[in-house]
Structure 1
């Protein structure tokens, strides 16, 4: 396992000075780990993006779900260019605010097409295999398939919760069953911070037009 802690510390320090992060508590805040195969075909992991090899990005959880995250969500850079055509196309097809789609993608995978969580959620909008199958998604690691399925799911949740973004975000994170059980946003630490961060990101992406 190849982790260069000194480089991680420098990277976090730069982000802290730029206002993207507050002062980090530990190296555990680093969100991305790269999984790839060595020349001998041995599965390997690294905090540094591998060069000239195929790799997948493995995350501890969704990008915005870490209760102890030190990301400053009011200042962290937005991404209005990545997958713009696909986002706008599916926003129009399913009548979903493109700013909400960007907020969910940002919160879920930080726009990493090959992101895979520890629980098996995949792709830009972190679709679980069962959900992807239900939505007719053939390949969750394909941006077009993933966004189409994810936005279709968002449209369903928006209709079910009558446009209540907090409940939509809560259901996207914890499941519709959990929202029904608690009659609102479930009191899970991960879900509470996720809902709050999606709200912040949604507002900021709407302001970008």
Structure 2
């Protein structure tokens, strides 16, 4: 039961602080139960820097999608579609759901200033690549997003940090930085936010 209390507080609330911070290093430690904790304000010596914030003032600002229990519940309505798409793509449902939550907050009509659309915030070229005819259709959008995550997982040998960095910034950006997370504020915020929610959802699924 302790894990269920710790995770929403330290993984969701703390990650929101990261998303709202103009420039903040991201710290992490794994406790004795194997639970990973993230914060941008380390409280003791166990925390180590896992992602350093960029010092470039021209870095792109991250779009803020408030993550709370209401948003998680809103995304829950798409659970059957997520399960189906994840199974077809051999991707963990918790990962698909975490990406969906951070990308759109469960809004099927979400549209970013850069043109990303729908629940999984597909760019037009990505939607076209996976044969999406209606990017705002939840089934098509989730299916394409899951397939994209599968392809990125294969490309980066299941390294979740690189998979998520590529989903956010594009594979070209990851490759141009030597197969590492690009030093973009948005991407540095995005990766731990998704990972935090992913671990939270996995623990809930396993009753922890």
What TM-score do you get using the length of structure 1 for normalisation? 0.65
Query: Using a 3 Å threshold, how does the CA distance of structure 1 residues 192 and 83 change in structure 2: closer, same or farther?
Result: same
Q: Which of the residues 144, 151, 169 maps onto 1:149?
A: 144
Q: Which of the residues 82, 91, 95 maps onto 1:87?
A: 82
Aligned residue for 2:197, secondary structure, equals helix
Q: Distance in 2 between matches of 1:70 and 1:151?
A: 20
Aligned residue for 1:196, secondary structure, equals helix
Q: CA deviation at 1:69?
A: 5.1
Q: Distance in 2 between matches of 1:157 and 1:144?
A: 20
- For structure 2, the 5+ residue unaligned runs are 1-12, 21-59
User: Which structure has the larger Rg over C-alpha atoms?
Assistant: 1
Q: CA deviation at 1:162?
A: 1.1
Q: Do residues 188 (structure 1) and 190 (structure 2) align? A: no
- What is the root-mean-square deviation in Å for CA atoms of aligned residues? 2.3
Q: Distance in 2 between matches of 1:108 and 1:67?
A: 11
Q: CA deviation at 1:208?
A: 1.5
Q: Which of the residues 190, 193, 205 maps onto 2:201?
A: 205
Q: Distance in 2 between matches of 1:118 and 1:70?
A: 14
Q: CA deviation at 1:67?
A: 4.3
Q: Distance in 2 between matches of 1:68 and 1:143?
A: 21
Q: CA deviation at 1:81?
A: 2.1
Larger relative contact order (C-alpha < 8 A, sep ≥ 6)?
Answer: 2
Query: Using a 3 Å threshold, how does the CA distance of structure 1 residues 163 and 189 change in structure 2: closer, same or farther?
Result: same
Q: Which of the residues 150, 157, 176 maps onto 1:162?
A: 157
Q: Distance in 1 between matches of 2:87 and 2:157?
A: 18
Query: Using a 3 Å threshold, how does the CA distance of structure 1 residues 176 and 82 change in structure 2: closer, same or farther?
Result: same
> Higher helix fraction: Structure 1 or Structure 2?
2
- For structure 1, the 5+ residue unaligned runs are 1-18, 26-64
Q: CA deviation at 1:70?
A: 9.6
Q: Distance in 2 between matches of 1:154 and 1:188?
A: 20
Partner of 1:119: 114
Q: Contact 2:89/2:146 (CA < 8 Å) preserved in 1? A: yes
